Structure 1
Amino acid sequence: MLFGALFYLTSKILQFEKWNYKFLLGIGILFRLVFLFAEPNLSQDFYRFIWDGELIKNGINPYLYTPDQIMEQGEIAFTGINKLYAGMTDLNARHYSNYPPINQILFALSAVLGGGSVVGSMIVLRLIIILADLGMLFFGRKLLQNLNRANHLAFWYFLNPLVIIELTGNLHFEGVMLFFFIWAIYLLSKNKWLWASPIYAISIMVKLVPLIFLPILVKYLGLKKSAIFYILVIAGCIMLLLPFYSSVFVDNYTETVGLWFSNFEFNASVYNVVKNIAVTYFEAKPWELIDTYGSYLKIAVLIIVLLLAFLRKNQSLDHVLSTMVIALALYYFLSSTVHPWYVIFLLGFAIFTDYRFPLVWSCTIILSYYAYSHPDFKENLWLLAIEYIVVIGYFIYELIGSRPKKLYFLKK
């Protein structure tokens, strides 16, 4: 109810003050600074962020050792090592790092500037995320102008309660990925596609999600330009990976990334339906089912993206962005794991289209946190059903019309 009240407050602020740029910018920064010294209480990932940063500061490749291995060996020590190890989840402690190189560089920066203090490193990470959101607002408004859309729509990202709580509050880096992604899309809108390629590569090296959008750019750039763009993006990613490369890096990294497809489940929609049918009527074993489902999910996502890339009209940037929204939404609908902060990336570039179901999702996804009220993180499937009925229902509602419908408070 409190989260819903925040959304209502946001809608009213934007309804009455949408052209007051300085006011909206000021309260957006103020709302973020509220969290400056607060320890995240909805995620423990930040302990692993700082852990990886401390390893790099001490000249150790974070992709080569799990925290469990380091603690068992007892040969490596740095300030706060016991606190960081005790704070992270067992899942984080027993697996290799899955955070791409740009993330690792930012983690190392926080460790250096934080002076060995967990709180100091946490504040540095928080300031980086706030700067990324400001950058997203800057390029977002410019991109909206290039697309002939009202630039105040960018504040539906900047003032969104989910964005502020999950990024600034809980220290997730979707906003950093989104900043570089929107910067790259802005450069594409200005026909500066060569300059956009290294920025796009940096976005991928923050989080891997923008990789799935590369085929969607073929029609927009044309075969020749898109081929060059892909080569430059891949070359940029390789260059960023080189400082961390070792003989076991690829195996460790792909093993950890593969876990997200075949081992984890949280806030799923289609997967929960499949799981309940398979377990109830076919006596399937859940731990075997998720592994099989994960294997098919990779193939399904690839097919969906390729079909959307070549069957939809993607000659204009408007169409490209709309196709990206649909592609990522379908991936999340099919995925077995959809943490609340995942939706922020979808929301971030959906504001450049007519689709508003990601905004609805950014409100309803808070229901998934009900699982945290149980020591064993047991989910309430009825609450998840409400979340997805509302979101998928609005998604279909927007798809079946001649053009996506607008929520009453988002009219230009």
Structure 2
Amino acid sequence: MKSKNSIAYFGLSILACLAYIWIGYGIDRESFFLLFGLYSFCFFIGLLLSKQSENISWQLLFFIGLIFRLSLFWSVPNLSDDYARFLWDGELLGLGSNPYEMPPKEWMAQNQELISSYLEKLFQLMNSKGYFSIYPPSNQLIFWFAGLVSDSQIIYPIIILRLVLVSAEMGVFFLLRKLLLTLKLSSSRIGWYWLNPLAILEISGNLHFEGLVLASILGALFFISRSNVFGTSASLFAGVGIKLVPLILLPSLFFDKNFRKKPTFWLGGLLIFFLAFSPLIIDQSYVNLWESIRLYQGKFEFNGSVYYLLREVGFWIQGYNTIATLTKILSLTTFVLIIWFSVKNSKRDTSGIIRLWVSIYLIYLFLQPVVHPWYLLPVLGLSVLINSRTAILWSWTIIFSYQAYGNIDFYENPLFLWIEYVPVFLLVFWEFRQNKLNYPFQVSQNEN
């Protein structure tokens, strides 16, 4: 019987791998219904294998997930064009230019003698030609490293980025496994992330850096479980150096006297923060980086939930899009809620911290005007360590956001937004009521 099960698991893994290859090499993001079918197939195969992982060794589970990721090894990202900006910034650094100094359009106009066919191709592929780079210096270092092998071929730096990100994903796997053992939780949970198509396609496929962010957050949790205050802050700020978003987790530690009153907490954080962001002093690069962040927060909108509902209210009252005002209100609301949750849950064990971090991430994402699928990956990884299923459900329904790319002007059909968000909001409401997520009126209980 066990032999038959092994053959069935092997067959399902082969089929899922073929689906990943089809997605990575055979379709584009405009083919929504085909993408939805293949993605859903991979999602439910991953859930099935995770559910049966008690009968599969962790080594085999690791191997299956790694093969899924490596099946995309030679692919050029087809669900996101962000990689073009990554490679552009890396190429500029290789040429001795500052990627924060001017937008690509302006750089092309002023540096005609440096333009190559490779740069021209990246410029045509980019979606942010008129904006300063929004990626912190730690990212830029990785972009520069990948650019060392460009040789006018776009695939080679893509492979370097993919190797870096898959290596980080391997770190995520082993950190999750270690934390599950520490928390005395079932190791079968690891498949919820490791075999999830959102993680596989958005990191290995589309080259997004949320995997590195998740690795740093899990590293911070590992150090918390070891009562290592210096390592906790250093690891968390290493994630901030990749993406600024993990700063939302800082209040949860600041309002815990076990961290706030330890000099090593401040030493670790400030040291890594200085190493990560000191290059922005050059040519006042921080000014242009901040300009890009400000424009991003006040101009763009995609796959929002609460924001879209409030935007409609704004249209009804004012008669126009109130994004400039609304984003400021939502940012302030996010900040207040994060502080409130952190203060009300300041006394907790490692499991309580994880629940709080999942709650904070969900608050942040629900109130954002832009929620790209890969933004969900850190909270998806954290959810493996608690009883929350909201992020796992959302990691499937978020594929509906891709329907916009098949429409003129990326029109987002409200029907698909309702399909995506209604199940997620119903589940998160139930989990808050069941105290599976941190409830702001009481201190969380230990994980069962």
Does TM-score exceed 0.5, indicating one fold? yes
Q: CA deviation at 1:313?
A: 4.6
1:81 and 2:119 aligned: yes
1:47 and 2:90 aligned: no
Please give the residue correspondences for 1:194-273 in structure 2 after superposition, counting only pairs within 5 Å. 194-220=230-256, 222=258, 224-225=260-261, 228-273=264-309
**1:277 pairs with 313, 316, 320, which one?**
313
State the number of aligned residues: 400
Find the counterpart in structure 1 of residue 417 from structure 2: 384
CA distance in 2, matches of 1:237, 1:64: 21
Find the counterpart in structure 2 of residue 409 from structure 1: none
Q: CA deviation at 1:175?
A: 0.4
In structure 1, give the amino acid aligned to 2:59: K
CA distance in 2, matches of 1:276, 1:24: 45
Specify the SS of the correspondent of 1:376.
Answer: helix
In structure 1, give the amino acid aligned to 2:145: L
In structure 1, give the amino acid aligned to 2:64: I
Find the counterpart in structure 2 of residue 168 from structure 1: 204
1:330 and 2:363 aligned: yes
TM-score by length of 2: 0.85
Specify the SS of the correspondent of 1:222.
Answer: helix
In structure 2, give the amino acid aligned to 1:364: T
1:8 and 2:39 aligned: no
For each residue in 1:260-296, what CA deviation from the matched residue of structure 2 results, as whole angstroms up to 9, or x when unmatched?
A: 32111000111111111221x214311xx11111111
Which runs of 5 or more residues in structure 1 are unaligned? Answer: 405-411
Which deviates more, 5-14 or 375-384? 5-14
Q: CA deviation at 1:403?
A: 4.2
Which deviates more, 55-64 or 238-247? 238-247
In structure 2, give the amino acid aligned to 1:62: P
Instruction: Kindly indicate whether the alpha-carbon contact (under 8 Å) linking 2:311 and 2:326 is maintained by their aligned counterparts in 1.
Output: no
1:99 and 2:132 aligned: no
Q: CA deviation at 1:109?
A: 0.9
Instruction: Kindly indicate whether the alpha-carbon contact (under 8 Å) linking 1:214 and 1:230 is maintained by their aligned counterparts in 2.
Output: no
In structure 2, give the amino acid aligned to 1:369: Y
Q: CA deviation at 1:26?
A: 1.2
TM-score by length of 1: 0.92
For each residue in 1:234-258, what CA deviation from the matched residue of structure 2 results, as whole angstroms up to 9, or x when unmatched?
A: 3321222223422431210111011
1:126 and 2:162 aligned: yes
Q: CA deviation at 1:364?
A: 0.2
CA distance in 1, matches of 2:66, 2:333: 40
Which deviates more, 311-320 or 153-162? 311-320
Specify the SS of the correspondent of 2:77.
Answer: coil
Which runs of 5 or more residues in structure 2 are unaligned? Answer: 1-36, 438-447
Specify the SS of the correspondent of 1:133.
Answer: helix
Which deviates more, 128-137 or 107-116? 107-116
In structure 1, give the amino acid aligned to 2:157: S
CA distance in 1, matches of 2:116, 2:240: 30
RMSD, matched Cα: 1.8
Change (3 A) 1:188 1:36: same
Find the counterpart in structure 1 of residue 395 from structure 2: 362
1:26 and 2:59 aligned: no
Find the counterpart in structure 2 of residue 407 from structure 1: none
CA distance in 2, matches of 1:100, 1:403: 34
Residue identity (%): 31
Find the counterpart in structure 2 of residue 341 from structure 1: 374
For each residue in 1:83-126, what CA deviation from the matched residue of structure 2 results, as whole angstroms up to 9, or x when unmatched?
A: 1101111xx11101111111111111111134442110011111
Find the counterpart in structure 2 of residue 117 from structure 1: 153
In structure 2, give the amino acid aligned to 1:8: F
